[in-house]
Amino acid sequence: MIKPAGEYNRRDEAIQAAARIFEEHGDFLRTVIRFQAQDLCREDDLFQEFFLRLVERPVPPNVRNLRSYLYQVVVRDVMDLARRQEIHRRHLKKYAEKIRISIHNRPSTNAIEEEIEEKDSVFVHLIKQLQHREAQVVTLRYRDNYSIAEIADQMGVHRRTVSRYLTSGLRKLRVAVAIE
């Protein structure tokens, strides 16, 4: 999509205005960011993000004290970033607790292989209770992750036929699982 020439001019003007502000108040901004963030690793990132913020949302023309305005915006941005990081950290912690991830308590590869073999043996036992075509369709669909169309192509039947085999096979497996 081609943008109108006026849009490029406004963007260039916004970049030039932000560059002037950073040229004149760059040291002040870096000091405020350093003090507020208290994280030297994030200082350069925040500095660049603030420049981009000024390009996207230039300083309003009615601002009388530019340094005060810049200070307030930087403090607000740094606090907002810290809040977002804390929310993200809490979500990750909650997710890790939910799925019980532990760096120090991971199962061995032998335990994982044994669990897979056990699940496969249960699957094979259940599949043996189905007719050949039903077993083939259920296996291709749920073990091999084939789509209905792929199964139909492979078996040389219509997709509706595959759906019928799948439905009847799953119904029989539900009954078998309920009994066992």
Side-chain-side CA neighbours of residue 66 (13 Å): 14
Mean pLDDT, range 115-129, rounded to an integer: 70
- What integer pLDDT is reported at residue 115 of this predicted model? 59
User: Which stretches of 38-65 are DSSP H helices?
Assistant: 40-56
- What integer pLDDT is reported at residue 164 of this predicted model? 93
The model's pLDDT over 20-74, given as tens digits with 9 standing for 90+, comes to 888 888 888 888 888 887 766 777 778 888 888 888 888 888 988 988 888 888 8
**141 near 148, Cβ under 8 Å?**
yes
**128 near 137, Cβ under 8 Å?**
no
Mean pLDDT, range 136-159, rounded to an integer: 88
- What integer pLDDT is reported at residue 111 of this predicted model? 58
Q: Cα 99 to chain center, whole Å?
A: 17
Mean pLDDT, range 9-27, rounded to an integer: 85
> 């002040």: which residue's tokens?
28
Mean pLDDT, range 111-125, rounded to an integer: 65
Query: Cα–Cα distance between 124 and 139 in angstroms, integer?
Result: 9
Confidence grade of residue 119 (pLDDT, cut at 50, 70, 90) = low
pLDDT of 76 strictly over 70: yes
Average pLDDT of the chain to the nearest whole number: 79
pLDDT of 160 strictly over 90: yes
pLDDT of 110 strictly over 70: no
**172 near 130, Cβ under 8 Å?**
yes
- Crossing angle of helices 40-56 and 5-37, in 10° steps, is 150
Q: Which two tokens stand for residue 91?
A: 């979500």
Going by the DSSP 8-state scheme, the letter that residue 139 receives in this structure is: I
Cα dihedral 147/148/151/156 (nearest 10): -150
pLDDT of 179 strictly over 80: no
